[in-house]
Amino acid sequence: MVPADADDIMGQYNILARELEQFNPQLADKPRVLAISKSDMLDDELIAEIEQTLAHAQIIDDDDISTEKVGIGTTVKILDMEMDEEMEFKMVGTKEADISSGKMSDESPIGSAILDHEVGDEVEVETPSGVIGFKILEIRKDDED
């Protein structure tokens, strides 16, 4: 349920931010990813988007990230078998995705195809130009973001 006014929403956002900082103190040293002004909060679409994001948000503890299979939080090196080119990126959720920064969404065509696969697995990805094969070369957990 979304609070009735922008002050209530900002208050709940600040509470959530403090709770996240308590869970992971490193967050306190980083600038806030989400900056919301009171005027923005009057936009019903923005309120609905924030509510949807918070309803499905999951905190992933670095200690729980496995390097046995590709998953959110892992850094993956793959080989485009057609072009014989290696690519490396970190698997992230859709909201964090930025391929120019090396962050691939778990919902992208390649991301969803390699999700839950292991080193050595070969996967095929359907693209507008045809099927492309990829081989997973490495899965690791990086200490830095």
Q: Where are the domains of the chain?
A: 6-59, 63-140
Whole-number Å distance between alpha carbons of 95 and 60:
15
* Residue 106 token pair: 């778990």
pLDDT at position 127, please? 80
pLDDT at position 144, please? 47
Q: Where are any strands of DSSP class E within the chain?
A: 75-80, 85-92, 103-105, 122-127, 130-140
Going from the C-alpha of 10 to that of each of 5, 15, 34, the distances in angstroms are 9, 9, 11
Of the candidates 85, 78, 83, which has an alpha carbon nearest to the alpha carbon of residue 108? Answer: 78
pLDDT at position 1, please? 36
CATH number attached to the domain at 63-140: 3.10.50.30
pLDDT at position 2, please? 40
From the number of C-beta atoms within 10 Å of its C-beta (0-12, 13-18, 19+), residue 21 rates as middle
pLDDT at position 41, please? 52
- Provide the whole-model pTM: 0.60
pLDDT at position 54, please? 74
Instruction: List the chain residues with pLDDT less than 70.
Output: 1-10, 17-43, 57-61, 143-145
